[in-house]
Amino acid sequence: MAKIKMSVPLVEMDGDEMTRVIWQQIKDILIKPYVELNTEYYDLGLVHREETKDAVTTESALAIKKYGVGVKCATITPNAQRVEEYNLSSMWKSPNGTIRAILDGTVFRAPILVKGIQPYVPGWTSPITMARHAYGDIYRDVEGKVAKGGKATLVIEDENGRREIEIFDFSKSGGIVLGMHNTEKSISSFARCCFNYALDVKQDVWFATKDTISKTYDHTFKDIFAEIYENEYKEKFEKAGIEYFYTLIDDAVARVMRSHGGFIWACKNYDGDVMSDMVATAYGSLAMMTSVLVSPDGNYEYEAAHGTVTRHYYKYLKGEETSTNPVATIFAWSGALRKRGELDGNAELVEFANKLEKATISTIESGYMTGDLVSLFKSDVPAVKLNTEEFIRKIASNL
Ligand code: NAP
Ligand code: MG
């Protein structure tokens, strides 16, 4: 069989630990035998981020802006322990944070549903797609400590002049402060991304903030969504038979638990970070979720929603067998290859991506899976636990 050609490169961002090992296996066993893989490679592994003083992260994001599609492996976000472990010259920022700050946009995450794996929440019979705002709030904040006796003030200077708002008088105790921001432009594009995606998949959009407490910050999110919906989307939604629903974040959480799924849950950045892990886990496993960042100017970055699976990696380094689930990383590759194929009019590449996903799902449905899924699997066929490479090879034989 002739290999499928790619006319435009895919931006490939390699990563860390267990997912870096899986990354190579997926390329070697599942992709390269069929596709003449054309990528522009960026090594976002922590060792190379340190070597380049993190410039590689910015370069990779700019490459996505140039080519339109990227695929990213999970990466370590350094903390104090990692600074020591990797002998870092600085506690480099989260690569995802840096990339999202450059591309802007919204992260859509949806569970990969497989026959035989029941969600932990029995009522969730349809997927809940999480739409996470990928810009600003605490991910772009500034923070500081204030000594006892100090005072913190918020100063705003704009065309309306200068205002000073006292944050807190720390006369009785030292403490902490943080300042964060968002922009009307980013919130507007978040709203449009969600409404467009909803029209695409014909699903309702739910959105929630804490506007009763945060009467300017969160309320602005609510107002911008409402205005864009009324002016640009209401008619289209009515025609498509779908709804936009706004409520308070705590009410939303309660309603989501009681729902049957089948809608898009638009979340502010932090809510989306936290809630998507909860939703993914409830559907079975963090490793059974797709994740794509869609930027307002039409760039796509595909990744897995989970991290570098450090606990498994340390076992792997000791020579122990690991059964880490590669499905989310496979779907990051298939999603990126499919999008590349769509943009380039490459039908063979689209077809390959679809077949890769089908082979992955049918492998699990026929009873072959990694350890994390075994206890969740209820079917007529018995569940067979494979290690990561055996599982990938099983997918390859189905493919
Ligand atoms: P994690 O890598 O997602 O792993 C947490 C636990 O979830 C694992 O120990 C494992 O549970 C389970 N798990 C996650 N993915 C799995 C998979 N594919 N197959 C099987 N089990 C899976 O999160 P973490 O341990 O908190 O973070 C590790 C590193 O990843 C950190 O350095 C963090 O900065 C980074 N991180 C990166 C990203 C990203 O790049 N997008 C996102 C999150 C975290 P058991 O141990 O019980 O088997
Ligand atoms: Mg998270």
Say how many Å lie between the CA of residue 309 and the centre of ligand 1. Answer: 4
| pLDDT number for residue 25 | 98
Q: Compute the average pLDDT of residues 385-399.
A: 97
Ligand lying nearest the CA atom of residue 72: 1
Ligand lying nearest the CA atom of residue 269: 2
Rounded to whole angstroms, the Cα distance separating 314 from 72 reads 22
Q: Is the pLDDT of residue 1 over 80?
A: no
Q: Whose CA is nearest to atom 13 of ligand 1?
A: 309
pLDDT tens digit string along 10-41? 999 999 999 999 999 999 999 999 999 999 99
Say how many Å lie between the CA of residue 7 and the centre of ligand 1. Answer: 34
| pLDDT number for residue 73 | 98
Say how many Å lie between the CA of residue 135 and the centre of ligand 2. Answer: 14
Which of these, 270, 266, 333, lies nearest to 300 by C-alpha position? Answer: 333
Question: What ranges make up the beta strands (E) of the chain?
Answer: 10-14, 39-43, 69-72, 106-111, 129-133, 142-146, 150-158, 161-170, 175-179, 205-209, 244-248, 264-267, 289-294, 300-304, 368-369, 384-385
- Give the confidence band of 149 by pLDDT, cuts at 50, 70, 90: very high
Q: Compute the average pLDDT of residues 155-164.
A: 97
Protein residues whose CB sits closer than 6 Å to any atom of ligand 1: 74-77, 96, 286-287, 303, 306-311, 324-325, 372
| pLDDT number for residue 197 | 82
Q: Compute the average pLDDT of residues 68-94.
A: 97
| pLDDT number for residue 118 | 82
Question: Residue 331: CB partners within 8 Å, gap ≥ 6?
Answer: 112, 290, 302, 304, 357, 360
Rounded to whole angstroms, the Cα distance separating 200 from 220 reads 26
| Percent over 90 (pLDDT), the chain | 86
Which of these, 253, 264, 195, 262, lies nearest to 224 by C-alpha position? Answer: 195
Say how many Å lie between the CA of residue 92 and the centre of ligand 2. Answer: 17
Ligand lying nearest the CA atom of residue 45: 1
Residue whose CB lies within 8 A of the most ligand 1 atoms, among 286, 301, 360, for a mutation test: 286
Q: Is the pLDDT of residue 200 over 80?
A: no
Q: Compute the average pLDDT of residues 112-132.
A: 90
For residues 99 and 197, which has the higher predicted lDDT (pLDDT)? 99
| pLDDT number for residue 234 | 97
Question: Residue 252: CB partners within 8 Å, gap ≥ 6?
Answer: 206, 208, 265
Rounded to whole angstroms, the Cα distance separating 34 from 395 reads 14
**Alpha carbon distance, N-terminus to C-terminus of the chain:** 14
**What secondary structure letter does DSSP report for 380?**
S
Q: Is the pLDDT of residue 164 over 80?
A: yes
Residue whose CB lies within 8 A of the most ligand 1 atoms, among 76, 117, 306, 376, for a mutation test: 306
Q: Is the pLDDT of residue 297 over 80?
A: no
In DSSP terms, 163 is beta-bridged to 156
- Please give the C-alpha separations between residue 359 and each of 209, 214, 349, 353, 363, in angstroms, as whole numbers: 39, 47, 15, 10, 6
Say how many Å lie between the CA of residue 88 and the centre of ligand 2. Answer: 23
Say how many Å lie between the CA of residue 278 and the centre of ligand 1. Answer: 13
Say how many Å lie between the CA of residue 67 and the centre of ligand 2. Answer: 27
Average pLDDT in the chain: 95
| pLDDT number for residue 213 | 97
Q: Compute the average pLDDT of residues 275-288.
A: 85
For residues 107 and 22, which has the higher predicted lDDT (pLDDT)? 22
- Give the confidence band of 163 by pLDDT, cuts at 50, 70, 90: very high
| pLDDT number for residue 363 | 98
Ligand lying nearest the CA atom of residue 77: 1
Q: Is the pLDDT of residue 280 over 90?
A: no
| pLDDT number for residue 285 | 78
Q: Whose CA is nearest to atom 23 of ligand 1?
A: 307
Q: Compute the average pLDDT of residues 322-349.
A: 97
Which of these, 47, 48, 50, 28, lies nearest to 37 by C-alpha position? Answer: 28
- Please give the C-alpha separations between residue 342 and each of 41, 290, 328, 335, 345, in angstroms, as whole numbers: 21, 18, 21, 10, 5
Lowest mean pLDDT among 61-70, 156-165, 286-295, 382-391: 286-295
Q: Is the pLDDT of residue 199 over 80?
A: yes
